[in-house]
Structure 1
C-alpha cells in the first residue's frame, strides 16, 4: 500500500502512523519471537544436538568394535596363514619321505628280482652243466663200450684182470 500511495502522490516519504503501518503488530510479533522462540527452538535444537551426539557416539562405538574385529580377524588370518604354511611344509616333507620310501622299495624289489634272476640263472646253469656232464659221461661210456670189444682180446683181458687183482691186494 505504501508503494501504491507513493506512486499516486508522486513522491516518496515515510509514514509515521502507527496503526496504519502495523508497527505495533510487528513489535508484538518480534517480542513474542524473542521471548518464546529461543525456548521452543532451543529445545528442538537441543534434542537434535543430543540425537546427533548419540548417533556419533554409537557410530564411534561401532567403529571401535569394527576396528577390534578387524584386528582380531587379521590375527586369525595370520595364524591361519602360518598353519597353512606349516601344513604345506609338512605335506612336502611327507611327500618327499613317501617318494624316498617308494624309491627304496623299488630298488630293494629290483635287487630281489635281480638276485632271483641270478639265482635262477645259477641253478639253470648248474642243471645244464650237470645234464651236459651226464650226457658226456654217457657218450664216453657208449664209445668205450663200442671200442672195447675190438680192443679187448683174450691176452689183454688176462693182463687187465691180473693188474686189477694186484691192485686190490696192495690196498
Structure 2
C-alpha cells in the first residue's frame, strides 16, 4: 500500500504481549469515478464476499514496550482486487472508499474471569479510494518519485490495488 500506514502507540502495558493488525472497512456506501478532475459518487458500493481479511504486523506478537518505542509501519501491507489471492493480501473493490482500522489485542494466557484487551482505532484522514490505475496524473508521478515499489507499478501495476486521492 502506498503511501504506507504508520502509527504510534502509547499506554500499553510494557510487559504484556500484543498482536497489532490492520483491516479495511468500507468508508461509505458509494461506488466512485474520477470525472472532470474530481471524484464523484456514482452508484452503490459492492460488498466483498471475502470478509475478515486482516494484515498482522510481522513483529506480532511482541511486548508493549516494543510497540511503544517507535512508529509501527505497515510497509509490507499489500492490497489487491483479486478475490482468489492468498491470505497475505487484503482484498478491496476498485473505485470504492475504504477506512483502514488499527487493532491491538493482548495475547497470552489469562486468569479465569480475566478479559483480554482489544483496542480498535480508525482515523478519518486515512480514508482512500482504491484504484487499479491512477486517475490523477499527479499521484502517478508522486508514486514513481517516492515509492520504493514503483518498479511493480511500471511493470504490471494492475495486479495490486493502489490508493488515489479524492
| TM class, shorter-length | under 0.3
Task: Name the structure where helix makes up a greater proportion of residues.
Answer: 1
TM-score computed with the length of structure 2 as normaliser: 0.13
More strand by share: 2
Q: Which has the higher contact order (CA 8 A, sep 6+)?
A: 2
Q: TM-score, normalised by structure 1?
A: 0.13
